[in-house]
Amino acid sequence: SASSAEEFDVVVVGGGPSGSTVASFVAKQGHRVLLLEKESFPRYQIGESLLPATVHGICGLLGVSEEIERAGFVRKLGGTFRWGTSPEPWSFAFAISPRMAGPTSHAYQVERMKFDDILLKHSRKLGVDVRENCAVTEVIEAGDRVTGVAYTDASGARHTVSARYVVDASGNKSRIHRQAGGERTYSDFFRNIAIFGYYEGGKRMPAPKQGNIFCAAFDEGWFWYIPLSDTLTSVGAVVHREFAESVQGDPAEALAQLIAKCPRIDDLLSDAKRVTEGTYGQVRVRKDYSYSNNSYWRPGMVLVGDAACFLDPVFSSGVHLATYSALLAARSINSALAGEVTEEAAFTEFDARYRHEFGLFYEFLVSFYDMNSDHESYFWQAKKVAGFGDSEVEAFVELVGGVASLDGAFVDAESVRTRFKHTAGELERSVSQVDRTGGDDATPLYQSEIMGSVMEQGTQIQVQAALGGDLDPEEALYPGGLVPSADGLRWVASAEQ
């Protein structure tokens, strides 16, 4: 009953990477954290290709890097794409960026059952009270404030808990985000459907690219090909909603037919067999429409990861945005709980930085898709006739730039837009440079200014993780904004103020 409600500083809903990360960073500051997860871990999830910022930055700050390294995940040195006007595949390596050179120039391809489980167990080690098989059913409010949640445990018993902050980290399917107020706005541009399964015995690219993600465009959309071990491969097609009928009927049959339409994937799988048993034995279909909530927080509640926003998976940004937003939210919660910063200032900072990062990736992806604009396939033309144009970019950037939120005055949507105006051209040039060199197909993509911007925050987190408390003060994102504390776990006023 409500009278016997347990009390915590923070309750986190969901034990995926966003939930375990925010819980760990808050527990590290000595606060009492409860994490409620409706499933029993390890549990299946899609989203297997990671970025260096997560592996070295976030995992470093969490103190779980070595454990991740020991897990033996496939090392991802970069990506290979059959994309754009070039008929030949081209690659990029993380090591090409001077920002990521050295021991942190790789990421991993992970079985999410294992990766998410390591992060959640780590939260427990840091003192988080993790309860599995506990589904949150309700967000409790008092006046304007969120004050706790109600949940049902494995036996079906209902409990209530109260907390200073409730973090919604419950992913894209849950409805809890609605309690933060505002609405989920879907991008008109990225409305795709994904269909995916697992194969044993697929071919590998030659070293050092054997661990790369391979993305191949074809008429209906594009494929991912992600090596999860020497023999296991995750294979999925992302098709425009206009081709929704091609993923109807029997999913296994639909996937096989799509593979047959994409010669490069078909060839990589020519000796392979689809896994038909166990967790990987199912062919799954998921709507992967990109969206962003127009409110990421309200007093007493904050949204992180897919609960807040989701982006088309072609650049593997999902787990990065999930864990990065978790770090931002933890800084805001830790600062507000310590009484060092007002709640309004702390969460305005969270909101501005999160939208900024999401906006960078969004714009980058729009440009990336645009590279196929003169490709003679229905898919890419459909994108064009779907009414995508400058005004829509503007509208969405204004949305993700925070114009609809409290800090609209702080985030300069126009500057984000002009920064990315020529991105498609820049990317094309990167690719054609490769063609000219003829040799190894590594592109200077990661050296480009645009990629530098996209990777900026991730790099800063990596530097912070590597240097511990010895960090040069960062610049504020906007006038009057806050900057991370030296340990990276709270916000402080910037030195210039």
Contact residues toward ligand FAD (CB under 6 A) are 13-19, 36-39, 43, 45-50, 135-136, 169-171, 174, 176, 194, 236, 286, 288, 305-306, 313, 316, 318-320, 322
State which residue, 316 or 372, has the beta carbon closest to ligand FAD: 316
| Residue 64: burial class (beta carbons within 10 Å; 0-12, 13-18, 19+) | buried
Task: Give CA–CA dist 321/305, Å, rounded.
Answer: 6
State which residue, 306 or 363, has the beta carbon closest to ligand FAD: 306
State which residue, 241 or 286, has the beta carbon closest to ligand FAD: 286
Residue given tokens 């033996």 in the structure block: 72
DSSP character for 58?
I
Q: What is the closest distance, in whole angstroms, from the C-beta atom of residue 374 to ligand FAD in the complex?
A: 27
Q: What is the closest distance, in whole angstroms, from the C-beta atom of residue 351 to ligand FAD in the complex?
A: 17
Task: Give CA–CA dist 126/62, Å, rounded.
Answer: 9
| Residue 449: burial class (beta carbons within 10 Å; 0-12, 13-18, 19+) | exposed
State which residue, 37 or 351, has the beta carbon closest to ligand FAD: 37
For the chain, how far is it from start to end, CA to CA, in angstroms?
48
State which residue, 169 or 371, has the beta carbon closest to ligand FAD: 169
Q: What is the closest distance, in whole angstroms, from the C-beta atom of residue 37 to ligand FAD in the complex?
A: 5
State which residue, 70 or 175, has the beta carbon closest to ligand FAD: 175
Give the number of C-alpha atoms closer than 13 A to the C-alpha of residue 342, restricted to the C-beta side.
Answer: 4
Q: What is the closest distance, in whole angstroms, from the C-beta atom of residue 135 to ligand FAD in the complex?
A: 4
Q: What is the closest distance, in whole angstroms, from the C-beta atom of residue 365 to ligand FAD in the complex?
A: 13
Q: What is the closest distance, in whole angstroms, from the C-beta atom of residue 438 to ligand FAD in the complex?
A: 30
State which residue, 17 or 300, has the beta carbon closest to ligand FAD: 17
Q: What is the closest distance, in whole angstroms, from the C-beta atom of residue 173 to ligand FAD in the complex?
A: 7
Residue whose C-alpha is closest to residue 363's, from 418, 304, 324, 292: 418
Do the Cβ atoms of 122 and 105 come closer than 8 Å? no
Residue 32 structure tokens: 């009492």
Do the Cβ atoms of 23 and 146 come closer than 8 Å? no
Q: What is the closest distance, in whole angstroms, from the C-beta atom of residue 331 to ligand FAD in the complex?
A: 18
3-state DSSP assignment of residue 148: strand
State which residue, 68 or 194, has the beta carbon closest to ligand FAD: 194
State which residue, 115 or 491, has the beta carbon closest to ligand FAD: 115
Do the Cβ atoms of 26 and 335 come closer than 8 Å? no
Do the Cβ atoms of 208 and 366 come closer than 8 Å? no
3-state DSSP assignment of residue 107: strand
**Residue 129's beta-bridge partner residues?**
34
Q: What is the closest distance, in whole angstroms, from the C-beta atom of residue 468 to ligand FAD in the complex?
A: 26
Residue 485 structure tokens: 């504390």
Could you tell me which residues come within 8 angstroms of residue 418 by beta carbon, excluding any fewer than 6 positions away? Answer: none
Q: What is the closest distance, in whole angstroms, from the C-beta atom of residue 30 to ligand FAD in the complex?
A: 24
Q: What is the closest distance, in whole angstroms, from the C-beta atom of residue 121 to ligand FAD in the complex?
A: 14
Do the Cβ atoms of 233 and 332 come closer than 8 Å? no
State which residue, 65 or 485, has the beta carbon closest to ligand FAD: 65
Task: Give CA–CA dist 24/13, Å, rounded.
Answer: 13
State which residue, 227 or 236, has the beta carbon closest to ligand FAD: 236
Task: Give CA–CA dist 100/23, Å, rounded.
Answer: 27
Do the Cβ atoms of 396 and 362 come closer than 8 Å? yes
